[in-house]
Amino acid sequence: MKKNEKAAKNDELRPEYDLSKLKNGVRGKYAARYRAGTNLVLLSPDVARHFPTGRAVNEALRKLIHGAKTLRRGR
């Protein structure tokens, strides 16, 4: 079996999709914009169990930052 035949056999793309419309795509077109506005952090599973949402993580970090600033001013 040739490579193309093997790839066609494993292709899960539905037949109704017209691949000829996908030829003008630009790789990485939005990559810079994505990087500029996104800061992803991977939490360890044990830490993530305590924070059900991203909002909860942000709230906890803001409180920590505020507490640290308060401690520094008190010295």
- 64 inside domain: yes
Residues 47, 61: contact at Cβ < 8 Å?
no
Please check whether residue 16 is in contact with residue 25, taking contact to mean a CB–CB distance below 8 angstroms: no
DSSP per-residue string spanning 13-58 = --TTS-GGGGTT--TTTTHHHHHHH----PPPHHHHTT-SSHHHHH
Question: What is residue 6's predicted lDDT score, i.e. its pLDDT?
Answer: 61
For residue 1, pLDDT beyond 60: no
Q: Does a structural domain hold residue 26?
A: no
How many domains does the chain divide into? 1
pTM of the prediction?
0.47
The per-residue pLDDT for range 42-58, each reduced to its tens digit, is 999 999 999 999 999 99
* Domain encompassing residue 70: 43-75
Does pLDDT of 27 surpass 60?
A: yes
